[in-house]
Amino acid sequence: MPHSNSIISFPTHLFTSFIMFIISTSISLIQCSRPPTMAPALAPPTPPLFHKACCNSCLPLDTELCLRILESIPKVVSAKDLDSLAMASIEVGISNSTSTRTHIEATLNGKALDVCKNAHDRVIDQFSAALQEVKIHLYDDPSLAFLEGSMDYVEICDKALAKQKVGEDDVISRGNKAVPIFGLSACGIVRELEDLNNVAPSPYDY
């Protein structure tokens, strides 16, 4: 029975098209040129909070692609703190895998269908488990394992598609590529929250 996504009620076909457009574009919105100015040089502005999600201590990310995707999602961009940023990344990751799974079920058949459908089921389960932990401020190894482990399931899907010689499917390919963006960006934020949570209080705090 397909998973339903009650967290983000964005139509799955629109969400998939949106992710496909963002991943396929080759223009970096972060690095748009600005008109010259005669004003004295100023210190560079503080990067938006969501930049932390793409420059983190988890596995290497395609930073430019990560920034391009995350800056297009209002819920991520509007995050006011690390907690809400981590939750927003995970929630959109759940929505991405839900829409990808729906497309897989409508498109594939045979063993590749079962493997990829189950892979995204597991990604949704892993992300959902991590989300529940972050909501109650548990920033520990299980949370990180849930987020990092979801990458393995996408690789299983990719290998099944190659083995079954399934033709290139842009929706599945881009949906799979987006999983590490959401999972590892959230992972980096959770790891930072864990570090902050483990810092011993100063005696001057009392």
pLDDT tens track for 82-125: 999 999 999 999 999 999 999 999 988 888 889 999 999 999 99
Question: Residue 13: what pLDDT?
Answer: 57
Going by pLDDT thresholds of 50, 70 and 90, the confidence category of residue 146 is confident
- Mean pLDDT, rounded, for 134-141: 86
H-helix or E-strand spanning residue 96: helix 82-107
In 97-144, DSSP assigns E strands to none
Question: Residue 21: what pLDDT?
Answer: 53
d(CA 186, CA 9) in angstroms, rounded, equals 20
| Residues in Cβ contact with 164 at an 8 Å cutoff, skipping those fewer than 6 apart | 110, 111, 112
7-54 pLDDT, tens per residue?
Answer: 444 455 555 555 655 555 433 333 323 344 444 455 555 577 888 888
Question: Residue 46: what pLDDT?
Answer: 58
**Amino acid code (one letter) for 156:** I
Least trusted range by pLDDT, from 90-94, 128-132, 186-190, 201-205: 201-205
Ordered by where they begin, the domains of the chain are: 12-17+48-200 (1.20.140.40)
Residue 139 token pair: 């920033």
Question: Residue 85: what pLDDT?
Answer: 92
Q: What is the pTM of this model?
A: 0.73
Question: Residue 57 above 60 pLDDT?
Answer: yes
Question: Residues of 76-115 as b/e, b for ≥16 C-beta within 10 angstroms?
Answer: beebeebbbbbbbbbbbbbbbbbbbbbbbeeebeeebbeb
Q: To the nearest whole percent, how much of the chain has pLDDT over 90?
A: 31
Least trusted range by pLDDT, from 43-47, 140-144, 195-199: 43-47
157-185 pLDDT, tens per residue?
Answer: 999 988 888 877 889 999 998 998 899 88
With 0-12 CB in 10 A as exposed, 13-18 as middle and 19+ as buried, what is 163? exposed
